[in-house]
Amino acid sequence: MRVTVLGATGGTGRHLVTQALERGHQVDAVVRDPGHAALPANPRLTIYRGDVHDAASIAGAIAPESVVVSGLGVASKNEAGTLTAGARAVVAAHPARILWLGAIGTGRSASAVGRLTARLLRAGFGAEYDDKVTADTTVLGAGGTVPHSGPLSDRADDPGTRALLLSAAGSRFFPHRTPRATIARLMLDEAEAPMHPGQLIIPDPQ
């Protein structure tokens, strides 16, 4: 399988790259500055220079058979609009499939965390909130899968965590910390065996 990783040098993106290579896939990593990518040397890894605000550069890294997995994030609230630009650029490139990491409690998953938590998250994210929701909606509308996670940690993968459809969570879900390694694993599992196209999933520790 050919995997294109967006946000490849971020905390989650590095796990996506490493795990995809460990699974034997061809990996195309999209980074803004290849000179500072610091990704593992591997004959199955190709690094592309790309900026989500330049849709042509993103399209150049995505082949028709590519499965795009995105760990794209923003470093500050001043970068609001980055996620929407990235989602639109990826959808316009028409890859085989898209998996797009989002945040639990935003948009469609707001009902899963309860009204108070959802309101606090909206206030905390500020302008980034609408950016997240628009990006998610763009990907879901194109048939992609959107995992929504709570705060991410650098702990080791929790092998007991599985993907759960948002519709099965009800209003009982609370945003727990999820290892980046775990969310990367769940995204790549879905990439390899798509079970939830056009749907929103959440990590569920069992």
Q: Residue 76 — very low, low, confident or very high, per pLDDT cuts 50/70/90?
A: low
**pLDDT surpasses 60 at 52:** yes
Sketch out the chain's domains with CATH numbers: 2-205 (3.40.50.720)
**What mean pLDDT is reported for the chain?**
92
Whole-angstrom distance, CA of residue 3 vs CA of residue 65: 9
**pLDDT surpasses 80 at 123:** yes
Number of Cβ atoms within 10 Å of the Cβ of 116: 8
**CA within 13 Å, CB half, 125:** 24
Average pLDDT over residues 19-34: 96
Q: Residue 112 — very low, low, confident or very high, per pLDDT cuts 50/70/90?
A: confident
Average pLDDT over residues 115-140: 89
Q: Say what the pTM is.
A: 0.93
Q: Residue 66 — very low, low, confident or very high, per pLDDT cuts 50/70/90?
A: very high
Q: Residue 158 — very low, low, confident or very high, per pLDDT cuts 50/70/90?
A: very high
Give the per-residue pLDDT at 79. Answer: 73
Q: What stretches of 62-108 show up as alpha helix (H) in DSSP?
A: 82-93
Give the per-residue pLDDT at 122. Answer: 85
Give the per-residue pLDDT at 84. Answer: 96
**pLDDT surpasses 60 at 80:** yes
Give the per-residue pLDDT at 177. Answer: 87
Whole-angstrom distance, CA of residue 148 vs CA of residue 100: 9
Please write the tens of the pLDDT for every residue from 161-177.
999 998 887 655 556 78
> With left for phi above 0 and alpha for psi between -120 and 50, is residue 6 left, alpha or beta?
beta
- Closest C-alpha to 174, from 128, 205, 198: 205
Please write the tens of the pLDDT for every residue from 90-110.
999 999 999 999 999 899 888
